[in-house]
Amino acid sequence: MGVFYVKSHDMIASIIYWHMSPEITKLFGVFPLTYYGLLFAGGIGLAYYVMARIYKQEDIPNEHFERLTLYVLLGTVIGARLGHFLFYQPSYFWTNPIEVFLPIEKINGSYAFVGYRGLASHGGTIGIIIAVLLYCRKTNQHFLWVADRLAIVGPVTGAFIRIGNFMNSEMIGKPTGGDYGIVFQLVDTVPRHPGQLYEACAYLLIFVTMLILYRRNTKPDGFIFGIFLILLFSARFGLEFFKEDQVAFEHGMAFNMGQWLSVPFVLAGLALAFYKNGQKILSTTMK
């Protein structure tokens, strides 16, 4: 459990000691039920609820929404898993391909169910984009129209996932260098920035921003999706400075892998939100 401990007498500097087991219990004595898994499912559930309301309000057939849900779920998991191994552990991908797609891991010579360990958000985003392209081809819906609406709910799922990372004491922040911060006791005894919570808060703010944009937006399709890419991946780029490197090859790099992977998404967002929409507005005005 998390314990709050005030280190200074003036009640300003403080350290939170965090010691939380990632596992809640084992279902049937075999399958681990984790906080991360529950929060991941909760984030998806909330996204599903919001998207269902949007599709209903816009009179889109329910079968389209159910199909989109399936496509996005598959795109998320497959993309996030492939992204993690290709971006961060490429050698592991070739030596243990079965563990990429199945929630198992070889322990002491035999496979055990461990859940999915290692999901890359950049890979998940790419997987979702590919899945939505396939979905739109099947249903004849406009890609940017769908992307604008998915951009509303994407950040809230991301926020729940980062809270799950916090519960797991993973993706930890860098040392604060002072008498404040969070000590992840499953890792070490150093006060650190709660980088996962910084990111979760940023994503929740982006979620609120996306909702406001959706309700007030009068620009062509693609604008909301573009703003989403700019805000979310700019936040990811900046907050990486507060987080420890995830893999050894990032040590000594000016920017880590997460930051480098964020740059193309920000550029794509700028093109969608400003260049593409600016061109449309200009061409419409001149007609």
The annotation places the binding site at: 162
Tokens 């396939």 appear where?
A: 134
For residues 94 and 237, the answer to whether their CB atoms sit within 8 Å is no
17 pairs with which residues across the strands? 3, 183
Beta bridge partner(s), residue 183? 17, 191
Q: What whole-number distance in Å separates Cα of residue 125 and Cα of residue 156?
A: 14
Quickly count: other Cβ atoms within 10 Å of residue 26's Cβ: 11
Cα–Cα distance, 31 to 21 (Å, whole number): 15
- Residue 243: CB partners within 8 Å, gap ≥ 6? 171, 172, 173, 174, 193, 195
- Tell me how far CA of residue 23 lies from CA of 2, 20, 167, in angstroms: 15, 9, 9
In 10 A of CB 58, how many CB atoms? 9
Give phi and psi for 282, each to the nearest 5. -65, -45
Do the beta carbons of residue 195 and residue 256 sit within 8 Å? Answer: no
